[in-house]
Structure 1
Amino acid sequence: MNEFPDDTPVDPSLIDLPETAFNTKDYELDAVVVAKLDRYFEQLEGRHPHPLYELVIHAVERPLLLYAMGMCQNNQCAAAKLLGINRNTLRKKLTRHGLFL
C-alpha cells in the first residue's frame, strides 16, 4: 500500500523535479488550457459554447483521477489523501467519470 507517512503538506517548490516535469517553457499547464480554449472557440463558428467550467473540469479531472489512482495502486483512501479530497468525494468523481474500480 502506498500510504504517505507524514500529513504535513510539502511546498512544491522544495521538490527537486527536472525542469521538464511540469513547467517547461512551451508546455505550462495554464498555456495549454488557454490554447485549447482558443481552439475550441475558433471551432464553434458562431454556435453557443458549452459551459466552460464544466468543460475544462471534465477534461482535466479524469486524467488527474486516473493518475492519482495509479500512483496509489487503486487504493481510494490513499488517492483521496494524495488529491486532498474526501474519500466519498473521490468515489463520486470516479463514478461520474465511469472509473469506479
Structure 2
Amino acid sequence: MSVIVDNACYEMNDGVLYLNIFENNSIYPSVIYPNKTKEWHLFSQSGNPLMSMLNRSNDLPAIEYSNGDKEWWYYGTRHRVTGPAVIYGNKHYWFKDGNFIKMEINNGL
C-alpha cells in the first residue's frame, strides 16, 4: 500500500513506511517507523535496500527518534565533526569515524 508523506511516496510494510524510490538524499527519510522515528540511508548504486547504510549529509542527523533524540551517521559509522554524534536527552556522545571519544551531560547550566 502506497502512502504519501510530505510529498514523498512510501510503501507500508507491517506499519513501517519505506521510501518508495530509494534515493540518496537528505530531504526525505528512507524509513519512518510507527512511533514516528525516522532514518536516512545511503543506498548502493544497485538500489538494493539490503545494501544500505545509515548516512545523512549537511550535518543533519541520520536518525531522529520520536522523543527528540538524534544520531549522526556518516557512511555507516557514528561520526560528527561539529558536535556530538549522539544526543540522548541531556547526554551527548562524541564519535569520530565510529570511535567513541567522550560523553558529556548537559544540565542546562
Which TM-score band (shorter chain)?
A: under 0.3
TM-score by length of 2: 0.24
Q: Which has the higher contact order (CA 8 A, sep 6+)?
A: 1
User: Normalized per residue, which structure has more helix?
Assistant: 1
Q: Which has more radius of gyration?
A: 1
User: Normalized per residue, which structure has more strand?
Assistant: 2
